[in-house]
């Protein structure tokens, strides 16, 4: 958009230090305070969930949620881990995320490569076909009938994987990347006798790692966090992903039977809040741990996506 | 047979597109047939094609009840709040972060602000519940500790547009501020230098340089939002509000309404009519706003 002007950042960063007047200083303090408080507000809910998942259930009941840990109890985690549900939900979420991401990246990159290829005469028609699905949806009812009645995918893992294999928005991010690759690569390989399949899998994919990582992580996040598909198509508890488990814990009357499996009997009172918070921690745990490493890929993806509209 | 010739010539390339095309056909175009149900009295035993045509009856029922007004208003009103507050706060955050000299501070703050983007709506819902629940929620405990009356927030529809807006800003301010920061990084430092020589304060530089130069980005993001104003965020609203009926008057959007019609009432025809209404309104809006975007900035139109 505004990229015609070259970036001169370092010059500015040095200049910033020269402010002296009182109002300027007050303004700087205000900048730090505002951004700092906002960052804190973003962090506190995570902190609360973590701390209170280790709190004693009776302590929450008595004092409410704690900002600072008063006591330390693993009872909620013990309860969750003893049950069968968390293991099967973890398995479902992981399987769907891994299989879905791999398939989605493959389908999307192959498709995007064709949309970006100058040799393909009908690429703008294909682009429009893709774009149109973004502005005129099939809607819930047709989608439901398709999955449930025509493809018979209810209560299968395919219902959680297939519907997200090609996201037009991510496809266009890839298209814009493939367009930046020099066409000479293609010509040289063709002269050497490689066909388009070989060129794509042997040459293009290996040099496209950055965009594959970015788009792949977006897909993985979508698969991991989704509950819509499970809500629509999965009634069988054994196939509930983690997000669905959280939903059941919010709304389910019989948490003990759900988390533990129906035959389990507990004679202790049920740590309702603890179980909810512990499950949340187990669900967002992998994301929070990976966050420092994956953040930059998301920043890149968002920036490309936004600049390409 | 120009098409056949073109495909034969680049057969491997078109082969690569087959999975993607098949996907679009099956998962995006075939289900469009579902819109036909809006004009039928759908019965599971008769299927989509066998069910009886009833003309506009399903629309009549929807438009004659007050529901259509409530859900349409809520969808537009909530999305409007999200666009204005979400983009507004993100813009302020981006400008402020950009003015901060300490790289470390900036990086840490930005990391925290971006973090909520990564968690699911159900996790967010749990956090909201921790703040607002009646007996043990943080807000009510705080009120009680200060001698004030605790309230049952989940029975008070009036506050929920505000609650949802706060949640939206919390989750997406980081996301949008990344876009704004990228745009600000594209502004040449020379503008600021010459402004400084002329004695401009920092605040004046923000108002007279930064904001005008990233105005187009702001407009495009706003138009993208407005173009989708008829689509509620199902994951967000249903994740947070769920089946809490007392909150429907202010939080029920077209998407949650049609979901309940389909999955809880089993009324395929009504649900389908609501969705077709939404799809058509959505298409009209995006075409109009694309034309507007084209007028403002020819490069920023969407198609």
The predicted-structure confidence for A248-263, as pLDDT tens digits, reads as follows 888 765 666 677 654 4
Among B12, B21, B192, the residue with its CB nearest the CB of A197 is B12
Q: How confident is the model at residue A3 (pLDDT cuts 50, 70, 90)?
A: very low
Q: Which two tokens stand for residue A190?
A: 């063709």
Neighbours of B275 (CB within 10 A): 28
pLDDT for A1: 39
Residue with the larger pLDDT of the pair B138 and B77: B77
In a domain, A142, yes or no: yes
Among B23, B33, B183, the residue with its CB nearest the CB of A107 is B23
Interface test with B, best of A6, A53, A140 (most B CBs within 10 A): A140
| C-beta atoms of A61 and B136 within 8 A | yes
Domain C-terminal end among A78, A103, A122: A78
Let me know whether A217 and A71 are in one domain.
no
Q: What is the mean pLDDT of residues B69-82?
A: 96
Which residues in A lie closer than 8 A to residue B203 (C-beta atoms)? 27
Question: CA-CA distance, A115 to A178, in Å (whole number)?
Answer: 9
In a domain, A4, yes or no: no
In a domain, B59, yes or no: no
In a domain, B291, yes or no: yes
| C-beta atoms of B123 and A15 within 8 A | no
Among B92, B188, B235, the residue with its CB nearest the CB of A6 is B188
| C-beta atoms of B125 and A250 within 8 A | yes
Q: How confident is the model at residue B47 (pLDDT cuts 50, 70, 90)?
A: confident
pLDDT for B8: 85
pLDDT for A309: 45
Beta carbons within 8 Å of B145's beta carbon, 6+ residues apart: none
pLDDT for A126: 93
Let me know whether A124 and A232 are in one domain.
yes
The predicted-structure confidence for A139-162, as pLDDT tens digits, reads as follows 889 999 999 999 999 999 999 999
* Residue B190 to chain A, least CA–CA distance (Å): 8
In a domain, B73, yes or no: yes
Decide if pLDDT at A17 tops 50: no
The answer, for B113 touching chain A at a CB cutoff of 8 Å, is yes
State which residue of chain A sits closest to B21, comparing Cα positions. Answer: A111
Decide if pLDDT at A8 tops 50: no
Let me know whether A57 and A143 are in one domain.
no
Task: Give the HSE-up count for residue A308: Cα atoms under 13 Å, Cβ half-sphere.
Answer: 18
The answer, for B302 touching chain A at a CB cutoff of 8 Å, is yes
Of A174-178, B180-184, B223-227, the least confident: B223-227
| C-beta atoms of B136 and A280 within 8 A | no
pLDDT for A252: 64
Let me know whether A217 and A146 are in one domain.
yes
Q: What is the CATH number of the domain that holds B186?
A: 1.10.3720.10
pLDDT for A159: 96
| C-beta atoms of B138 and A45 within 8 A | no
Let me know whether A90 and A157 are in one domain.
yes
DSSP state of A241: -
Decide if pLDDT at A296 tops 50: yes
pTM, two decimals, is: 0.90
**What's the distance, CA A47 to chain centroid?**
20
Q: At what angle do helices B215-227 and B268-296 cross, to 10 degrees?
A: 160
Range of the domain at A67: 10-78
Average of per-residue pLDDT values in chain B: 90
In a domain, A2, yes or no: no
Among A45, A48, A196, the residue with its CB nearest the CB of B10 is A196
Domain C-terminal end among A27, A52, A78: A78
Let me know whether B230 and B92 are in one domain.
yes
State which residue of chain A sits closest to B271, comparing Cα positions. Answer: A141
Q: Give chain A's end-to-end CA distance (angstroms, integer).
A: 10
As a three-state string, the secondary structure of B259-281 is HHHHHHCCCHHHHHHHHHHHHHH
Q: How confident is the model at residue A4 (pLDDT cuts 50, 70, 90)?
A: very low
Q: What is the mean pLDDT of residues A16-27?
A: 71
Q: How confident is the model at residue B301 (pLDDT cuts 50, 70, 90)?
A: low
Let me know whether B9 and B157 are in one domain.
no
The interface pTM score, or ipTM, of the predicted complex is: 0.91
* Residue B158 to chain A, least CA–CA distance (Å): 23
Q: Which two tokens stand for residue A225?
A: 């966090």
pLDDT for B251: 95
Among B174, B202, B262, the residue with its CB nearest the CB of A144 is B262
Q: How many domains does chain A have?
A: 2
Q: Which two tokens stand for residue B296?
A: 């403002």
Residue owning tokens 């149109």: A132
Among B92, B111, B276, the residue with its CB nearest the CB of A295 is B111
Q: What is the mean pLDDT of residues B62-71?
A: 90
Let me know whether A41 and A93 are in one domain.
no
Let me know whether B128 and B237 are in one domain.
yes
Let me know whether A186 and A265 are in one domain.
yes
The answer, for B169 touching chain A at a CB cutoff of 8 Å, is no
Q: Which of B123, B230, B115, B236 is nearest to B175 (CA)?
A: B115
In a domain, B93, yes or no: yes
Neighbours of A9 (CB within 10 A): 13
Decide if pLDDT at A5 tops 50: no
Q: How confident is the model at residue A34 (pLDDT cuts 50, 70, 90)?
A: very high
* Residue B103 to chain A, least CA–CA distance (Å): 10
The answer, for B205 touching chain A at a CB cutoff of 8 Å, is no
In a domain, A211, yes or no: yes
Cα–Cα distances (Å) from A105 to A98, A217, A259, B237, in that order, read 11, 10, 34, 29
Residues 67-86 of B with CB under 8 A from A: none
Residue owning tokens 């470390």: B104
State which residue of chain B sits closest to A249, comparing Cα positions. Answer: B126
pLDDT for A185: 85
Let me know whether B39 and B124 are in one domain.
no
Let me know whether A106 and A253 are in one domain.
yes
Interface test with B, best of A26, A27, A96, A139 (most B CBs within 10 A): A139
Domain C-terminal end among A78, A95, A126: A78
Classify B244 as helix, strand or coil: coil
Percent pLDDT > 70 in chain A is: 86
| C-beta atoms of A299 and B178 within 8 A | yes
Residue owning tokens 């109009």: B288
Among B16, B170, B213, the residue with its CB nearest the CB of A113 is B16
pLDDT for A2: 39
Decide if pLDDT at B303 tops 80: no
Decide if pLDDT at A11 tops 80: no
Q: How many domains does chain B have?
A: 2
**What's the distance, CA A101 to chain centroid?**
10
Range of the domain at B48: 2-53
The answer, for A61 touching chain B at a CB cutoff of 8 Å, is yes
In terms of Cβ atoms closer than 10 Å to its own Cβ (0-12, 13-18, 19+), residue A13 is exposed
- Region class of A120: left (phi > 0), else alpha (psi between -120 and 50), else beta: beta
Task: Give the HSE-up count for residue B59: Cα atoms under 13 Å, Cβ half-sphere.
Answer: 13
The predicted-structure confidence for B120-163, as pLDDT tens digits, reads as follows 999 999 999 889 988 888 898 889 889 898 888 999 999 999 99
> Which DSSP string corresponds to B78-119?
HHHHHHHHHHHHHHHHHHHHHH---HHHHHHHHHHHHGGGGS
* Residue A263 to chain B, least CA–CA distance (Å): 28
| C-beta atoms of B259 and A130 within 8 A | no
The predicted-structure confidence for A97-116, as pLDDT tens digits, reads as follows 999 999 999 999 999 999 99
Interface test with A, best of B2, B13, B280 (most A CBs within 10 A): B13
Let me know whether B290 and B178 are in one domain.
yes
Average of per-residue pLDDT values in chain A: 85
The predicted-structure confidence for A40-60, as pLDDT tens digits, reads as follows 999 999 999 999 999 887 788
Let me know whether A106 and A134 are in one domain.
yes
* Residue B206 to chain A, least CA–CA distance (Å): 12
Q: How confident is the model at residue A24 (pLDDT cuts 50, 70, 90)?
A: confident
* Residue B251 to chain A, least CA–CA distance (Å): 18
- Region class of B242: left (phi > 0), else alpha (psi between -120 and 50), else beta: left
| C-beta atoms of B182 and A306 within 8 A | yes
In a domain, B115, yes or no: yes
Q: What is the CATH number of the domain that holds A131?
A: 1.10.3720.10
Let me know whether B44 and B77 are in one domain.
no
Q: What is the mean pLDDT of residues A56-72?
A: 80
State which residue of chain B sits closest to A133, comparing Cα positions. Answer: B28
Let me know whether B104 and B180 are in one domain.
yes
Let me know whether B141 and B288 are in one domain.
yes
Let me know whether A70 and A178 are in one domain.
no
pLDDT for A74: 87
The answer, for A206 touching chain B at a CB cutoff of 8 Å, is no
Q: What is the mean pLDDT of residues A51-70?
A: 82
The predicted-structure confidence for A260-276, as pLDDT tens digits, reads as follows 654 454 555 567 788 88
Percent pLDDT > 90 in chain A is: 53
In a domain, B61, yes or no: no
The predicted-structure confidence for B99-122, as pLDDT tens digits, reads as follows 998 999 999 999 999 999 999 999
Q: How many CB pairs under 8 A join A and B?
A: 317
Among B33, B185, B221, the residue with its CB nearest the CB of A142 is B33
pLDDT for B32: 92
Classify A246 as helix, strand or coil: helix
Task: Give the HSE-up count for residue B223: Cα atoms under 13 Å, Cβ half-sphere.
Answer: 23
**What's the distance, CA A91 to chain centroid?**
17
The answer, for A205 touching chain B at a CB cutoff of 8 Å, is no
In a domain, A5, yes or no: no
Let me know whether A171 and A74 are in one domain.
no
Let me know whether A74 and A91 are in one domain.
no
State which residue of chain A sits closest to B116, comparing Cα positions. Answer: A42
Q: How confident is the model at residue B21 (pLDDT cuts 50, 70, 90)?
A: very high
In a domain, A37, yes or no: yes
């Amino acid at each position: 958009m505004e990229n015609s002007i070259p970036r001169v950042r370092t010059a500015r960063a040095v200049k910033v230090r020269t402010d002296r007047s009182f109002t300027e200083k007050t303004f700087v303090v205000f900048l730090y305070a505002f951004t700092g408080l906002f960052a804190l507000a973003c962090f506190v809910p995570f902190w609360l969930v973590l701390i209170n998942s280790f709190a004693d259930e009776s302590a929450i009941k008595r004092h409410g949620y704690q900002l600072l840990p008063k006591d330390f109890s693993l009872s909620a985690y013990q309860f969750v881990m003893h049950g069968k549900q968390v293991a099967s939900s973890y398995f479902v979420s992981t399987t769907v995320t891994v299989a879905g991401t791999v398939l989605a990246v493959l389908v999307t990159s192959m498709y995007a490569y064709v949309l970006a290829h100058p040799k393909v005469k009908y690429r703008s028609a294909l682009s429009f076909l893709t774009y149109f699905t973004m502005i005129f949806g099939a809607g819930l009812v047709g989608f439901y009938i398709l999955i449930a009645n025509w493809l018979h995918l209810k209560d299968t893992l395919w219902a959680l994987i297939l519907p997200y294999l090609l996201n037009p928005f991510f496809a266009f991010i890839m298209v814009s990347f493939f367009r930046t690759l020099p066409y000479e690569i293609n010509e040289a390989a063709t002269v050497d006798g490689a066909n388009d399949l070989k060129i794509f899998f042997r040459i293009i994919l290996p040099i496209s790692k950055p965009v594959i990582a970015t788009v792949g992580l977006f897909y993985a996040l979508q698969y991991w966090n989704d509950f819509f598909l499970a809500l629509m198509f999965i009634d069988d508890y054994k196939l509930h992903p983690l997000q669905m488990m959280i939903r059941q814990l919010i709304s389910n009357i019989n948490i003990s039977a759900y988390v533990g499996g129906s035959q389990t009997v507990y004679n202790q009172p049920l740590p309702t809040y603890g179980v909810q918070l512990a499950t949340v921690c187990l669900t967002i745990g992998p994301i929070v741990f990976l966050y420092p490493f994956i953040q930059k890929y998301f920043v890149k993806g968002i920036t490309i996506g936004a600049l390409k509209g | 047979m120009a098409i056949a010739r073109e495909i034969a010539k680049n057969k491997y390339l078109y082969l690569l597109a087959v999975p993607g095309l098949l996907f679009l056909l099956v998962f995006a175009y075939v289900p469009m047939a579902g819109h036909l149900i809006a004009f039928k009295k759908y019965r599971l035993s008769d299927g989509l094609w066998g069910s009886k045509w009833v003309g506009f009856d399903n629309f009549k029922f929807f438009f004659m009840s007050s529901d259509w007004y409530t859900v349409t208003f809520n969808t537009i009103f909530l999305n409007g709040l999200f666009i204005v507050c979400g983009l507004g706060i993100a813009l302020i955050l981006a400008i402020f972060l950009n003015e901060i000299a300490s790289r470390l501070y900036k990086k840490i703050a930005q990391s925290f602000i971006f973090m909520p983007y990564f968690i699911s709506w159900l996790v967010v819902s749990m956090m909201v519940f921790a703040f607002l629940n009646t007996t043990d929620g943080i807000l009510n405990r705080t009120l009680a500790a200060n001698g004030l009356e605790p309230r049952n927030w989940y029975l008070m529809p009036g506050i929920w547009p505000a609650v949802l807006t706060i949640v939206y800003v919390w989750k997406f301010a980081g996301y949008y501020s990344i876009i704004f920061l990228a745009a600000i990084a594209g502004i040449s430092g020379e503008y600021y230098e010459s402004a400084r020589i002329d004695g401009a304060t920092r605040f004046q530089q923000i108002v007279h340089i930064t904001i005008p130069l990233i105005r187009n980005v702001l407009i495009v993001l706003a138009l993208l939002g407005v173009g989708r104003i008829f689509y509620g965020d199902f994951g967000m609203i249903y994740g947070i509000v769920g089946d809490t009926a007392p909150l429907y008057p202010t939080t029920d959007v077209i998407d949650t309404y049609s979901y309940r019609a389909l999955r809880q009432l089993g009324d395929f025809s009504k649900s389908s009519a609501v969705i077709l209404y939404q799809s058509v309104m959505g298409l009209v809006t995006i075409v109009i706003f694309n034309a507007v975007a084209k007028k403002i900035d020819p490069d920023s139109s969407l198609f």
